[in-house]
Amino acid sequence: MDTVIEIRQLVYQPPGESGASVETMSFAKLRRLDRGASERGDFHVLAVVRRGHGAVSIDFARHSLSARSVVWIRPGVVHRWDDLGDLAGDVVLFVPTAPAATPGSRALAAGPGALESWTVAEGQWPLVTAALAHLRGETAAASGAGELLGLVLSALLLRVAPPVAGGESGQELFPRFQVAVEEDFRLHHDIAYYARKLGCSPRTLSRAVRSATGRGGKEYLCERLVLEAKRLLAHDRLGAARCGQRLGFPDAANFSAFFAHQTGVRPGRWQSETLAGRDQRGLRPGRVLSHYETK
């Protein structure tokens, strides 16, 4: 009989009795705890690779990892460590409210993130490793002062922030667009709505999005809709009609046509193929666990 591996629902629990909102661990410890299951946590997972090679799957995309790779898995995102291999580095777990209240770090933690994995520039790497060493020291300290941990975590987040191209105005506009999309993408599917909300023209908004991501504003919005549709189809197992309704489409046919145009396959077929592959691996929704503990 095949072993059933659950999609584990992870809940943040402070290490020991510290009550700290931040925890650090090594890839060596993660290797001991990981069982290759798909997981979804209520906390952030920030992993920084010093050396080695491996892979992680996040929201249906597989990312290869090597020296200076950064992985940021946000709360609610289903992920699986496909290959921890010989990876060495740091894994930082923290709750959404842990970063200090600085505009930059809070925006990074609150937003959906333009990238899930990227490589730190070589010139920035010594500063990133210094920030990680500082955070490791503070999390190991007996005091575990929340305010200090939040400040050190914020410094790390700003150091490892994903690269953003373009001028300052684009860098300011794109994060606001990300937040607006997360708030309203289930109701508003047109880029003009977001331009009005942000007080700019659709062309200016699309230019800022393209500068930050290499994709236009409409393309970014469509990709966000498709991602949410895939989550609902695969993880919540909703039918196409209910999925389209959740995402603000007027009817099932309209949603099905949109999904097929974006992915090349109808939602029902995509769901059946995805779930068939999952069933072959013995995956199903799971119970709540703390961190990466194994039960």
Q: Do 152 and 88 share a structural domain?
A: yes
Any domain includes 222: no
DSSP the chain: -PPPEEEEEEE---STT---SEEEEEHHHHHHH--S--EEESSEEEEEEEE--EEEEETTEEEEE-TTEEEEEPTT-EEEEEE-TT-EEEEEEE-TT-S-S-HHHHHHHHS--S-SEEE--TTTHHHHHHHHHHHHHHHHSSS--HHHHHHHHHHHHHHHPPP--S-HHHHHHHHHHHHHHHHHTTT---HHHHHHHHTS-HHHHHHHHHHHHSS-HHHHHHHHHHHHHHHHHHTS---HHHHHHHTT-SSHHHHHHHHHHHHSS-HHHHHHHHHHHHHHTTEEEEEEEETT---
Q: According to the model, what pLDDT value does residue 6 have?
A: 57
Where a domain ends, among 131, 147, 163? 163
**Does the pLDDT of residue 161 top 90, yes or no?**
no
- The segment with the largest mean pLDDT, out of 31-40, 62-71, 265-274, is 62-71
Q: Do 259 and 119 share a structural domain?
A: no
**Domain residues for 114?**
5-163
Q: Do 103 and 13 share a structural domain?
A: yes
Any domain includes 52: yes
| Residue 26 to residue 24: CA distance in whole angstroms | 7
Any domain includes 220: no
When the pLDDT of each residue in the chain is averaged and rounded to a whole number, the result is 85
- The segment with the largest mean pLDDT, out of 97-101, 115-119, 176-180, 259-263, is 259-263
Q: Do 245 and 118 share a structural domain?
A: no
Any domain includes 80: yes
Q: Do 156 and 40 share a structural domain?
A: yes
Q: Do 202 and 115 share a structural domain?
A: no
Tell me the pLDDT tens digit for each residue of 74-117. 988 889 999 998 999 999 999 988 888 777 777 777 766 667 89
Tell me if the pTM is above 0.85. no
Domains: count for the chain: 3
Any domain includes 219: no
Any domain includes 223: no
Q: Do 190 and 82 share a structural domain?
A: no
Q: How far is CA 243 from CA 75, 167, 180, 250, in A?
A: 21, 38, 21, 11
Any domain includes 295: no
Q: According to the model, what pLDDT value does residue 113 have?
A: 63
| Residue 149 to residue 154: CA distance in whole angstroms | 8
Q: Do 143 and 98 share a structural domain?
A: yes
Angle between helices 103-110 and 146-160 (to 10 degrees): 80
Tell me the pLDDT tens digit for each residue of 31-46. 998 878 888 899 999 9
Q: According to the model, what pLDDT value does residue 181 have?
A: 92
Q: Do 246 and 170 share a structural domain?
A: no
Any domain includes 242: yes
Better pLDDT: 214 or 266: 266
Q: Do 188 and 128 share a structural domain?
A: no
Q: According to the model, what pLDDT value does residue 294 have?
A: 43
Q: Do 154 and 44 share a structural domain?
A: yes
Q: According to the model, what pLDDT value does residue 2 have?
A: 40
Q: Do 23 and 152 share a structural domain?
A: yes
Where a domain ends, among 163, 180, 204? 163
The CATH number covering residue 107 comes to 2.60.120.280
Q: According to the model, what pLDDT value does residue 83 have?
A: 94
**Does the pLDDT of residue 166 top 50, yes or no?**
no
